[in-house]
Amino acid sequence: MAQLREIKKRMGAVKTIQRITKTMQMIATAKFTAALARAKNSRPYTDTIRDLVGKVSAQAGDASHPLLETPSQGAGKELVLVIASDRGLCGAYNSTVLRTAGRLLAESRGAGRTVTLDVSGRKALAFFKYQKLEVSTRHAVGDRPQYDAVEKIAQGYIDRFVAGEFSSVKVVYMRFITAARQRPEVMQLLPLTLPKPAGGTDAKGTNANFEFSPSAPELLSDLLPRSVKVSLFQAFLDATVSENVMRMVAMKSATDNAGGLGRTLKRSYNRARQARITTELTEIVAGVEALK
């Protein structure tokens, strides 16, 4: 009887877990759909800005800009921003990003560079504290990144880079490719690396001759900071989409596993119940035989 009660109790616990994971899967699916729409809507703008910067820089000739050059006074110093999540239960999302960040930090320190570490997300903060690594700043962006908040972060990095505090700024995040594929990536935010088509050719290889008003250097002064900001914003959007799709998959797997365990427990319960009934019938028959 005690065994039947124990199995029955476990069956109830598994059903409760299955309901919870199913609900979390539905919430993650809704968040993923919304985050994917935002990321897709911003991608054309981000790509257009980068393409425009490339074309303007090609026409600008030898025009220089502080965001394109490594400041001499910041040599040997770099800033690394790690974008993780505030919550867990999202599969290997955080572990993959943090492992990539750990390799980058090890390489930088192995090369003798001084690294300033910034994080976004409580999971990254807890991980680096456990590793006894000092975190300079924690940015609270949330699971619905807003451009105004990300713009402030990017502007702060631009100001510090131009002032010579760092020779480079890198971002470690999970890049969203498809719903079935996400890839950890290290993006160099600063200094900017721009495509410079040889001979002033466009993407199709034909000669491209543009006239700019105002001049190309003036346009670069506006476009380069904008490119940095939208690139960082796109990284946050990609990270949010990746987090939600990986949580959706993880919760679906947990729901399926709970369903399989529930069926196994039900079979065990039925077998134990049948064994108990058989035992009771055997005892009854034995008692009747003894009375004859």
Q: pLDDT confidence of 278, banded at 50, 70, 90?
A: confident
Which SS3 state, helix, strand or coil, does residue 145 take?
coil
The answer to whether 252 and 88 are in contact (CB under 8 A) is no
Which SS3 state, helix, strand or coil, does residue 168 take?
strand
To the question of pTM greater than 0.95 for the whole model, the response is: no
Mean pLDDT of 274-281: 85
Residue 7 lies in a domain: no
Query: Computed from CA positions of residues 29, 34, 40, 43, in that sequence, does the dihedral angle turn out positive or negative?
Result: negative
* Listed residue (80, 161, 155, 156) closest to 124, CA to CA: 80
The percentage of residues in the chain with a pLDDT greater than 70, rounded to a whole number, is 89
Is residue 58 scored above 90 in pLDDT? no
Q: How far is CA 15 from CA 256, 258, 273, in A?
A: 11, 7, 20
Residue 197 lies in a domain: yes
Residue 42 lies in a domain: yes
Residue 262 lies in a domain: no
Q: What is the pLDDT of residue 196?
A: 52
Residue 169 lies in a domain: yes
Residue 4 lies in a domain: no
CATH number at residue 222: 3.40.1380.10
Number of independent structural domains in the chain: 1
Residue 14 lies in a domain: no
Is residue 203 scored above 70 in pLDDT? no
> Which residues constitute the domain of residue 153?
26-248
Q: How far is CA 268 from CA 4, 7, 10, 176, 189, in A?
A: 9, 8, 11, 43, 57
Structure token pair of residue 89:
């239960």
Angle (deg, nearest 10), helices 122-130 and 93-110: 50
